[in-house]
């Protein structure tokens, strides 16, 4: 061997191997620490930048504004033209009621309208006749007034003639027969005056009666025509109501959708308001997401949301928008609300329904049914209204 080479003792070889292993282990722990630190930093950054702006829940279900189909008139079901799960369009006939009674009621109302129109036409025609009658009574009153004046004049003349003959009879210038004739003429004039006064009073009463009849008849037709007369308008309203009742014997779909909960059967007697079936407008379905109250701090109307349905899984993603928050929790509107003012009260985290509208195009491409489970994620950093 070369004299310059250094020979290590045999005991130093194991110590060098241990140092190498320690150094290697220290390096590995350092790298692991750096990886954990980087992961924690990335996780914290993801939470701060992304996750903290999202709230999610799987307590969400598809819902829709279900339209109840009920009759507006009573009747017997003649025919049912829809069954459960059937797709219907707005205006499609669902149920046909027996319309016999409605048709008879319409015929009666039309007849009553025609009679009312003729009755009012009679009122208008009576106006002309009563006006002529009033004119005749006024003329008669004028004639009796003239006759009364003439009778008064005849009485005055007979009275003067009688007084003159009574004065002359004392001197014997007038015979008894002539005096008697004068007295008869006076009596006749007095009777004629009384008759003329009675006739004048009767003519005045007849004139007032004729004017009263005219006013009473004019009250029925004042400021109206046949078409605008109250009697005709009332009869026409009853006719229109009968037409509406007849039309209501045909029960149509109020919206587009799917028939559900059919209860109507042919021959069944139903009253107005009896539930016959429901129409579910699936094309307008929305999602009610029940978020915990601690998640709602930043949820606002107008924020965007992404949703998945258990029906399709993660391969189909829906996009929606928050359109409203319920006015109260589910427990607040339950049939028997919780009584929290008791001694054994236990706090329970409440959930508040949040309505989320879905994209109509996505809903048409992947239809949903009411009640299906959904998972909802709301981006609270998105622009709200």
**What is the DSSP code string of 313-373?**
EEEEEEEEEEEEE-SS-TTTTSSS----SSTT------EEEEEEEEPHHHHHHS---TT-E
Say what the pLDDT of residue 288 is. 95
Say what the pLDDT of residue 1 is. 43
The Cα 165–Cα 159 span in angstroms is 10
Structural domains in the chain, CATH included, are: 53-66+280-335+345-379 (2.40.30.170), 67-101+245-278 (2.40.50.100), 103-243 (1.10.287.620)
Say what the pLDDT of residue 46 is. 58
Non-local (6+) Cβ contacts of 235 within 8 A are 109, 112, 113, 115, 116, 117
Say what the pLDDT of residue 14 is. 54
Say what the pLDDT of residue 217 is. 65
β 87-88/257-260 pair status: antiparallel
Say what the pLDDT of residue 146 is. 83
CB 98 within 8 A of CB 71: no
Say what the pLDDT of residue 172 is. 66
pLDDT tens string for the chain (385 positions)?
Answer: 444 444 445 545 555 777 777 777 778 878 888 888 788 777 776 566 555 678 999 999 999 999 999 999 999 999 999 999 999 999 999 999 999 999 999 999 999 999 999 888 877 777 767 677 777 777 777 878 888 788 788 878 877 877 777 777 766 666 677 767 777 887 887 888 788 788 878 878 877 777 777 676 666 676 777 778 888 999 999 999 999 999 999 999 999 999 999 999 999 999 999 999 999 999 999 999 999 999 898 899 999 999 999 999 999 999 999 999 998 887 777 777 777 666 677 788 889 999 999 999 999 999 999 999 999 999 988 876 6
Q: Can you say how many angstroms the Cα of residue 72 is from the centroid of all Cα atoms in its chain?
A: 13
CB 315 within 8 A of CB 377: no
Say what the pLDDT of residue 258 is. 95
């Amino acid at each position: 061997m070369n004299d310059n080479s250094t020979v290590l003792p045999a005991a130093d070889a194991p110590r060098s191997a241990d140092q190498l292993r320690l150094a290697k282990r220290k390096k590995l722990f350092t790298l692991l620490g750096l990886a954990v630190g980087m992961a924690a930093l990335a996780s914290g950054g993801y939470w701060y930048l992304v996750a903290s702006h999202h709230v999610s829940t799987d307590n969400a279900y598809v819902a829709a504004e279900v339209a109840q189909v009920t009759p507006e008139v009573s009747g017997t079901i003649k025919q049912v033209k829809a069954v459960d799960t059937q797709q219907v369009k707005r205006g499609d006939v669902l149920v046909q009621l027996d319309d016999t009674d409605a048709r008879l009621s319409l015929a009666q109302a039309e007849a009553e309208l025609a009679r009312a129109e003729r009755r009012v036409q009679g009122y208008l025609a009576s106006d002309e006749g009563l006006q002529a009658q009033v004119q005749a009574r006024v003329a008669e009153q004028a004639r009796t007034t003239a006759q009364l004046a003439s009778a008064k004049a005849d009485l005055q003349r007979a009275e003067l003639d009688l007084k003159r003959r009574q004065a002359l009879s004392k001197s014997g210038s007038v015979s008894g027969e002539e005096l008697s004739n004068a007295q008869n003429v006076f009596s006749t004039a007095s009777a004629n005056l009384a008759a003329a006064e009675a006739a004048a009073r009767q003519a005045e009463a007849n004139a007032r009666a004729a004017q009263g009849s005219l006013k009473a008849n004019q009250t029925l037709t004042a400021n109206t025509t046949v078409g605008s007369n109250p009697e005709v308008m009332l009869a026409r309203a009853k006719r229109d109501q009968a037409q509406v009742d007849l039309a209501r014997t045909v029960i149509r779909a109020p919206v587009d959708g799917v028939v559900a909960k059919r209860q109507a059967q042919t021959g069944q007697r139903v009253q107005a308001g009896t539930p016959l079936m429901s129409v579910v407008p699936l094309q307008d379905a929305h999602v009610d997401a029940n978020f915990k109250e601690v998640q709602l701090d930043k949820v606002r109307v107008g924020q965007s949301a992404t949703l998945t349905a258990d029906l399709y899984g993660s391969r189909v993603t829906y996009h929606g928008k928050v359109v409203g928050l319920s006015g109260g929790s589910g427990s607040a509107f339950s049939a028997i609300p919780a009584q929290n003012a008791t001694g054994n009260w236990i706090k329970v985290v409440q959930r508040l329904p949040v309505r989320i509208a879905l994209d109509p195009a996505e809903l048409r491409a992947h239809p949903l049914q009411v009640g299906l489970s959904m998972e909802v994620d709301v981006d609270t950093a998105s622009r709200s209204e």
